[in-house]
C-alpha cells in the first residue's frame, strides 16, 4: 500500500474519495448540445436558446435574440414561401431558420459524425497541481506525445523511464499517459472526419437573398 497522490492518505487511488469526486464532477460538467444551425456540439453553458432554437456563440451573429416570446415574428419566408417563425438577419431582413441554415451553413444527407469535443479527455490522476507543473516541464524536454502512431509513442515512452521521477512510473500514471496518446490520435482522426463531412454540405452564397449583405 502506498500514499495516494491525490490526498496523501494511505490507500489506493480507486479508494480515494477526493479523486472520485473530481472525476464525477468533471464528467457531469460536460453536457453537450448540438447547435441547430451549424450542428457543432458545444458545452451547454455556451449554447443560447433563442426562440426554441439551440444557437452556439459562433452562429449567434445571425440570430436576432432581443425579442421576447410575445414578440416572435411569424410570416411568409421570402425564400421558401412557408408561413412560419422568422429570424431577423443583421441586415434587418427576415428568413425562416431552415433557409438561414441552407444559405449560411449548408445541409447534407450524410449523418453527422462524432466531433472531437464529444471525446472524454483523460483526467489528470493527481489532485497535486505541483506534480502537473513538473510533468509539463518534462514534456517540454521530451515531446512525448509528438507521434502519429501508438507504436512510436510506446518506443519513446519506454526509453524515457531512466529520466522519470518515481510517481511517473506508477501504473496508474502510465495508464493515464497511454490514454492521453490515444485521445490525441483519435482527436486528429475525428477532426479530419468532421472536415470531410462539412465538405459534403450544400451551402448557399452566405449572403442575404434580398440585399446581398454579408453578416
100 or 45, which is more confident? 100
Q: Is 192 a domain residue?
A: yes
- Which pLDDT score, from 0 to 100, does residue 3 have? 46
Our count of domains for the chain comes to 3
CA distance 29 to 39: 21
Using pLDDT thresholds of 50, 70 and 90, give the confidence band for residue 136.
Answer: very high
- The reply to whether 37 and 3 lie within a common domain is no
Q: What are phi and psi of 107, to 5 degrees?
A: -135, 160
Q: Is 88 a domain residue?
A: yes
Q: Give the structural domain span for 9.
A: 1-30
Task: Write the DSSP assignment of 189-213 as a string of letters.
Answer: HHHHHHHHHHTT-B---SS-TTT--
> What are the pLDDT digits (tens) for 151-202?
999 999 999 999 999 999 999 999 999 999 999 999 999 999 999 999 999 9
- The reply to whether 51 and 22 lie within a common domain is no
- The reply to whether 70 and 3 lie within a common domain is no
DSSP state of 105: I
Using pLDDT thresholds of 50, 70 and 90, give the confidence band for residue 134.
Answer: very high
Mean model confidence pLDDT for the chain: 86
- The reply to whether 60 and 26 lie within a common domain is no
- The reply to whether 65 and 47 lie within a common domain is yes
Last residue of a domain, one of 79, 105, 131: 105
Q: Is 12 a domain residue?
A: yes
Neighbours of 140 (CB within 10 A): 9
Q: Is 204 a domain residue?
A: no
**Region class of 3: left (phi > 0), else alpha (psi between -120 and 50), else beta:** beta
- The reply to whether 26 and 38 lie within a common domain is no
- The reply to whether 62 and 43 lie within a common domain is yes
Q: Is 95 a domain residue?
A: yes
Q: Is 150 a domain residue?
A: yes
- Which pLDDT score, from 0 to 100, does residue 1 have? 47
- The reply to whether 124 and 188 lie within a common domain is yes
Q: Is 207 a domain residue?
A: no
Q: Is 215 a domain residue?
A: no
- The reply to whether 99 and 119 lie within a common domain is no
- Which pLDDT score, from 0 to 100, does residue 13 have? 53
CA distance 115 to 112: 8
Using pLDDT thresholds of 50, 70 and 90, give the confidence band for residue 17.
Answer: low
> What are the pLDDT digits (tens) for 50-74?
878 899 989 988 887 655 454 578 8
* Share above pLDDT 90 across residues of the chain, in percent, rounded to a whole number: 67
Amino acid at each position: 500500500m502506498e500514499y495516494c497522490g491525490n490526498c496523501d492518505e494511505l490507500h489506493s487511488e480507486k479508494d480515494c474519495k477526493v479523486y472520485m469526486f473530481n472525476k464525477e464532477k468533471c464528467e457531469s460538467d460536460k453536457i453537450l448540445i448540438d447547435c441547430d444551425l451549424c450542428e457543432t456540439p458545444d458545452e451547454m453553458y455556451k449554447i443560447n436558446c433563442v426562440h426554441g432554437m439551440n444557437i452556439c456563440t459562433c452562429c449567434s451573429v445571425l440570430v436576432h435574440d432581443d425579442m421576447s416570446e410575445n414578440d416572435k415574428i411569424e410570416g411568409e419566408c421570402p425564400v421558401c414561401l412557408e408561413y412560419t417563425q422568422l429570424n431577423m438577419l443583421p441586415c434587418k431582413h427576415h428568413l425562416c431558420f431552415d433557409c438561414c441554415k441552407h444559405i449560411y451553413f449548408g445541409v447534407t444527407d450524410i449523418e453527422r459524425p462524432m466531433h472531437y469535443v464529444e471525446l472524454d479527455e483523460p483526467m489528470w490522476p493527481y489532485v497535486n497541481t505541483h506534480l502537473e507543473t513538473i510533468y509539463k516541464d518534462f514534456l517540454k524536454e521530451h515531446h512525448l506525445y509528438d507521434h502519429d502512431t501508438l507504436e512510436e509513442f510506446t518506443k519513446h515512452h519506454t526509453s524515457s523511464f531512466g529520466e522519470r521521477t518515481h510517481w511517473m512510473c506508477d501504473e496508474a500514471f502510465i495508464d493515464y499517459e497511454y490514454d492521453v496518446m490515444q485521445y490525441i490520435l483519435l482527436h486528429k482522426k475525428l477532426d479530419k472526419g468532421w472536415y470531410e463531412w462539412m465538405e459534403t454540405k450544400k451551402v448557399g452564397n452566405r449572403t442575404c437573398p434580398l440585399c446581398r449583405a454579408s453578416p
